[in-house]
Structure 1
Amino acid sequence: MQQPITRAVAPLTGVVRLLRHSELPQFRAHLLRLDKASRRDRFNGPANDAFVAAYAERCFHDGTIVIGYVEDGEVLGAAELHERPQDREPTGEIAFSVEKRLQHRGLGGLLFARLIESARAFGYERLLVTTHPQNEAMKRLARRFNATLRFADGETLGTIDIEPVAALPARPGIGDFGNLAGAY
């Protein structure tokens, strides 16, 4: 009986962190390197290079929070948090992309966790995710983070409710400016 061949997978050696505005070229290059299927999954349909390049520019100019997986100065995965100011409660729309060679290694989960942590810190109460019905990886990932999924208008729509940041207990002397009244 033959033993199955297993391939050793090199450990992830990069970092997951907020991208700086100066890293727009690396973010754009990442999105442009996505293979056809990954690009379709990320943009919920076909997207040409000009659209992808313009999209990256918009992200860095409209206040989108972009968290990246950076390895040796290259962005190889990203999670985006786009504000939806038209919604009554603080709501963000989220999106993810991971280059093919790093998919199925837990990177999406790391990016998702960091994105939720950032959304909570910015006071978001709800996150939305939209994907096409065949994007099983995204649907599994969203469910792992307690997304409620539904199918509408040919898309899978997910909602994640975020618990607010707990208020810090008051500490005497810290931030207590009341005792300064009349001191000037």
Structure 2
Amino acid sequence: MESHIIHLLPAKGVIRQLRPSDLPRFRAHLLRLDAQSRRDRFNGLTSDEFIVCYADRSFAQGTAVIGYVEDDEVLGAAELHERAEEAEPTAEIAFSVEHHLQHRGIGGKLFERLIAQARGLGYTRLRVTTHAQNAAMRALARRFSATLSFEDGEAVGTIDLEPLRPVFERAAGRAQGRV
């Protein structure tokens, strides 16, 4: 009973862009993921060595990483990996929240912040890939208007973002009572 009460307490951390100096905290977060959370995040089994290399590579390759940080620990993360080979500005997105904090709305808050970050970077499309059994990720993606399909045993989704309007166009719209 007591653990159920703790599970329902609101999260007390902050969601923020992770800095290069946060790499050790991001790596530690990924290493702490339980087996199911690792499988959900990476679409399969992963070793600690893979995760260490993955975290290092993410920061070295300019991945935008937004973290849920509590008591100076990264306990959740949302990642934006550019897909430069795509015709229009596209990024692959990924999420992880440590098991004891799941189902508290952290994933949704990370998703909101990630979409704002993606728009700020000029992306017009986001892609999400997860295994077909990851119901939480599929539901989260649908909540943010992802169209999902199943390919080779995976759920693949696309979120089309409205392109940012030019500054002067927005200013003219406000002057005429439009936003």
Does TM-score exceed 0.5, indicating one fold? yes
Q: For 1:64-123, what per-residue CA distance to the aligned partner results, in whole angstroms no more than 9, with x for missing partners? A: 000000011000000000001001100000000000010001000000010000000000
Which letter maps to 2:5? R
Could you tell me which residue of structure 1 aligns to residue 100 of structure 2?
Answer: 101
Specify which structure has the higher proportion of helix.
2
1:13 is displaced (CA, Å) by: 1.2
Task: Report % sequence identity.
Answer: 64
SS at match of 1:12: coil
- State how far apart, in whole Å, the 2-side matches of 1:128 and 1:60 are: 20
CA distance in structure 2 between the aligned counterparts of 1:20 and 1:10, rounded to whole angstroms: 28
Tell me which structure has the larger Cα radius of gyration. Answer: 1
Instruction: Identify the residue that residue 42 of structure 2 maps to in structure 1.
Output: 43
Show the counterpart of 1:181.
none
> How do 1:1-184 residues align onto structure 2 when only pairs under 5 Å count?
7=5, 9-169=8-168
Could you tell me how far apart the structure 1 residues matched to 2:117 and 2:32 are? 26
Runs of 5+ consecutive residues of structure 2 not aligned to the other structure? 172-179
Q: Return structure 1 stretches of 4+ with deviation > 3 angstroms.
A: none
Aligned pairs, how many? 167
CA distance in 2, matches of 1:15, 1:107: 10
**Two-structure CA RMSD over aligned residues (Å):** 1.4
What amino acid is aligned across from residue 13 of structure 1 in structure 2? K
Cα distance in structure 1, aligned partners of 2:147 and 2:121:
22
CA distance in 2, matches of 1:139, 1:159: 11
**Unaligned stretches of 5+ in structure 1?**
1-5, 172-184
When normalised by structure 1's length, the TM-score is 0.88
Equivalent AA in structure 2 for residue 7 of structure 1: I
2:136, 2:72 → 1: CA distance?
Answer: 27
Counterpart residue type for residue 30 of structure 1: H
Work out the CA distance in 1 between the residues paired with 2:132 and 2:13: 31
Distance 2:162 2:87 in 1: 17
Secondary structure at 1:113's aligned position in 2?
helix
